[in-house]
A and B are shown apart, each in its own frame.
Chain A
Amino acid sequence: MLEADNLECVRGERRLFAGLSFKLEAGELLYLQGRNGAGKTSLLRMLIGLLPPEAGDIRWQGEAIRRRRDDYHAALCYLGHLNAIKEELTPLENLLAGARLAGETLSEDDAIDALEQVGLAGREDLACKYLSQGQKRRVALARLVIDRRPLWILDEPFVALDVGAVDWLAGVISAHLQRGGMAVMTTHQPVAIPAGTVRELRIG
């Protein structure tokens, strides 16, 4: 269970939000909404523990994430604006290196399988600098296919994807919720997630 209690965010001189609280249980999806600059990304960065909140607490399974940082990070999968892939490496190498750095074990067959699912079959061995923007995003999303950590935090996951890929990703997130996972995400496009309880939070 992920809980946020009375969070306050100040960036520069501006207070973006204050008194923000929510609770997220297994199988639930939290949709963050708000105009540009409302503090959606700042809130996500607080939730992953990279940005300390001005006031308030974030708790994972009842414990403050500041105190159990390593345990929390082992349960967390974050997909940001940036793809976190290396241009010089191939999609396959990126996926394997990413999993190893995150402390997960991933076999090469599973990785190839995941890349096939995101529509990159036949391009596993091509350096990522030769891929298009959308294809690079797909390499980053391939992590989600194999990821079994309980909490997903996704920042604009649908950006740069075509219609088919949006439906596919909605399916992946549904499957994650059905397994009892949790997800927090921001998006400007309304996307229907078929399974799980969807809750909305508007900030700003």
Chain B
Amino acid sequence: MFDIVFTVIARDLKLAMRRQADIVSALFFFIIVVSLFPLGIGPELDLLRQLAPGVLWVAALLATMLSLPRLFADDLRDGTLEQLALSPHPLGLVVTGKVIAHWLVSGLPLALIAPVLGIQFDLAGDALFVLTAAILLGTPALSGIGAIGAALTLGLRGGGVLLSLLVLPLYIPVLIFGAGAVDATVSGLGGEGHLSLLAAMTIAAIGFAPWASAAALKIALE
């Protein structure tokens, strides 16, 4: 039964590899936005260290948002979504596969590049480690929550803007605990509690969001 999840992941990854511009543009958006801040603020290391977690997380939220509108739109346009809805497997599992593939393509690269970008903000080694861990743990929740928004706005005109308005407020808890983990590490309090909460949010999002998205997709297909 879980074969379908892996089948969908493999298909979406293959498609992403054939269309690398999508992955690269979200990643470069992240790199550029984050790099602009040290250039704009100047070499005040204390200020940069304070700003780093917030800047990196806000940029990560926006970079994840970039690729969300296309999560289901391509499949709807070419008719694949109908076929997925007609597969004898539950649509929620199909969407789980799509969410995981979305994370592998849009969230994972952000986590991998984040420590390099953190150096620009003069973050120490332990803070960089916690930053990477937080982005690694938090971005799957972003993909999951985003999938609900993408499914709800599917096929609407101006859906991209509506999607941001719908999804960004729901990203706030991830932002608070994600940035909080790094802040707590920098100030010596330890970020383990924040990381645990992030992990809990991710588990909840990956477990429940696909089923909510599937319900929204069924309405979009009527």
Contacts and interface: CB of A to CB of B under 8 A. Distances in A.
Interface of A: 45, 48-52, 70-71, 73-74, 76, 78, 80-89, 93, 97-98, 100-103, 127
B86 A97 contact: no
Contacts of B77: 82
A80 B90 CA distance: 21
B82 A101 contact: no
Contacts of A80: 79, 82
B82 A82 contact: yes
A70 B78 CA distance: 23
B11 interface: yes
Q: How large is the interface on B (under 10, 10 to 19, 20 to 34, 35 or more residues)?
A: 20 to 34
A83 B18 CA distance: 20
Contacts of A127: 18
A84 B221 contact: no
Given A89-B18, A98-B83, A101-B4, A84 B78 contact: yes
Interface of B: 4, 7-8, 11, 14-15, 18-19, 77-80, 82-90, 94, 218, 221-222
B9 to A, nearest CB: 12
B87 A103 contact: yes
A82 B78 contact: yes
Given A51-B222, A86-B15, A89-B14, A102 B79 contact: no
A40 B47 CA distance: 65
A51 B77 CA distance: 18
Contacts of B15: 86, 88-89
A101 B79 contact: no
B7 A100 contact: yes
Given A51-B222, A89-B15, A93-B14, A83 B78 contact: yes
A85 B86 contact: no
Contact of B82 (A74, A78, A86, A100): A78
A140 B84 CA distance: 15
> Sorted from nearest, which 3 A-B pairs have the closest CB atoms?
A82-B79, A74-B88, A88-B18
A78 to B, nearest CB: 6
Given A78-B86, A102-B88, A83 B221 contact: no
A188 B182 CA distance: 64
Interface residue SS majority, chain B: helix
A76 to B, nearest CB: 7
A6 B179 CA distance: 58
Contact of A101 (B14, B78, B87, B221): B87
A70 B90 contact: yes
21 contacts: A45-B222, A49-B86, A50-B85, A50-B222, A52-B222, A70-B90, A78-B86, A80-B82, A81-B79, A82-B77, A82-B78, A82-B79, A83-B79, A84-B83, A88-B18, A101-B4, A101-B8, A101-B84, A101-B94, A102-B86, A103-B4
A48 B86 contact: yes
Given A86-B15, A86-B78, A89-B14, A101 B83 contact: yes
B24 to A, nearest CB: 15
Given A50-B221, A51-B222, A103 B88 contact: yes
A97 B11 contact: yes
Given A88-B19, A93-B14, A97-B11, A102 B83 contact: yes
Given A50-B221, A78-B83, 11 more contacts: A49-B86, A52-B222, A78-B82, A82-B78, A82-B82, A86-B78, A86-B80, A87-B78, A102-B88, A103-B87, A127-B18
A50 B214 CA distance: 13
Contacts of B18: 88-89, 127
B202 to A, nearest CB: 26
B85 A101 contact: no
Nearest to A90: B18
A93 B88 CA distance: 20
Nearest to B218: A50
B83 to A, nearest CB: 5
